[in-house]
Amino acid sequence: MEELHDIQAGLDQRIHTYKSKLQELQKKRDRLDEEIKTVKKYLELAETLYRVEQEKARVAARQAITIEGERDRSKTGLDAPDQSQEILLGRSKYLGMSVPQATMVLLKEAGTPMHAKEVYQKLVEGGVRIRGKTPVTSIAISLRRDKRFRRVAPNTFELVDESLVTPGGGS
């Protein structure tokens, strides 16, 4: 009887030790998750700033070639101060990307299919300029034509498994 009691006490002690270790590891994982989020944000910002600087260099090169100091605008239609303002306002995530490129990033992050209207809202928030009278329809048509996306419901799209798509397989 006493031997059984000793076994139970030993197991109880192990359970307590494992629970403590589990809590400690979960706290470490939470800290790492937060650190990963922060690093991803910094990476995203650095990539955006890189694209802006690249675009500034292109504009400067075009301006050097332009006759009589004619002022060129960048592809995005923004001059450098406007681009800086976009970055500061947090609307730069997809700056310089095409609709399919930005949607691919968006759907990868979301990990779930999205309706074209929701895609439109997120892309505009992220700095993509979409012109036209019916931008949601334009996005839906663009994604429908791109092999990287699959329609799963009316105007709702998901990413196709990348291993199935040939390199450069979209717009």
CA–CA gap between residue 1 and residue 19 (Å, rounded): 27
Four-residue CA torsion sign, 51, 54, 56, 59? negative
Q: HSE of 103 in the Cβ direction (CA atoms, 13 Å)?
A: 33
CB atoms within 10 A of CB 126: 19
Q: What's the whole-number mean pLDDT along residues 52-61?
A: 79
* CB 119, CB 73: distance < 8 Å: no
- Mean per-residue pLDDT of the chain: 80
pLDDT digits (tens, 9 = 90+) for 3-15: 999 999 999 999 9
pLDDT attached to residue 171: 46
Flag whether pLDDT at 32 surpasses 90: yes
Full-model pTM: 0.46
pLDDT attached to residue 136: 93
Beta bridge partners of 149: 159
**Higher per-residue confidence, 167 vs 37:** 37
Beta bridge partners of 115: 156
